[in-house]
Amino acid sequence: MSPLSLDGPLVTTDWLAERLHHPDLVVLDAGVGQYRSTGPRIPGARAFDIDGELSDPSSPLPHTMPGPEAFTRALRGLGVHDRSTVVVYDSAGIYSSARAWWMLRAMGFDRAAVLDGGLPAWTAAGLPCESAPPSAAPAGTFTAKPRAGLLVDRTAVVGALADPATAVLDARSRERYAGTVEEPRPGLRRGHIPGSANLPFADLQTGGRMRPAGELRTLLAAAAAGRERLVLSCGSGVTACVLALGADLAGYRDVAVYDGSWSEWGLPSGLPAEPGPADR
């Protein structure tokens, strides 16, 4: 059987269906929170558990990137080899699957792609699903090789805000960015990082699929005011990765995701937030 090759960070349902039983393919269900797939799944898919072992248990923040040793252990447990080709999906279309893809990239693994349209597109195409738990995978040989700068902390965000060549983009909804609704996580302030711009992750999609590269470029360029370096934020570092996926498709090459995102910045602290209480 010929080796698998990827043309980019997205694959179609047809591409996946034709290669579903390839020995080098690993399919991972990256559902998270309300979008966690508890029903039918793509045959052979294994759970990339962003709510569990693939989140740093020592961090008080949700969905924090685990260290390289823990990440290596988890991916080997999922049967991923260094030679594997990984396709990730979720049951919302494209939501947390982009986070899994970005985590793999941050750990030095480029043979990964997101299923465009996710499980809804798969089932709409009449492709097979299964409900039985997957059989245990033979241990893989994956080894994390962390790349600096793909996931950044709040200190880097402060630096980015002072850099005229960098745009900080917030992937949350317009209402959350504006602070006109309460945050879904208790204890967080309303509003956004001063100096950031809003580009809701859903704007990069149509019908649960990513928009064409030209449209993505137009949306991102407008939000970033033409700046080519992007630092991306959201609620907990998940949907910021949808922007990262869109940026990759649009040709951006200097992109980082703020891992703590509003779950960290929005905590009561000395970090500034807009609008302030008097502005609401």
Please, how many CA atoms are within 13 Å of residue 144, restricted to the half-sphere of its CB?
Answer: 20
- Asked if 234 is an active-site residue, the reply is yes
Query: CA angle, corner 73, sides to 2 and 96, nearest 5?
Result: 75
Cβ-count burial 240-259 (b if 16+ within 10 Å, e if not): bbbbbbbbbbbebeebbbbb
* Closest by CA position to 239, among listed 57, 48, 32, 3: 32
* Closest by CA position to 25, among listed 114, 98, 87: 87
Q: How far apart are CA 130 and CA 122, in angstroms?
A: 12
Place of tokens 């992007």: 230
Which position among 234, 244, 245, 257 bears the catalytic label? 234
Q: How far is CA 186 from CA 64, 211, 267, 268, in A?
A: 18, 33, 10, 11
DSSP structure class, residue 136: P
The first and second tokens of residue 22, run together, are: 């390839």
- Residues classed as catalytic: 234
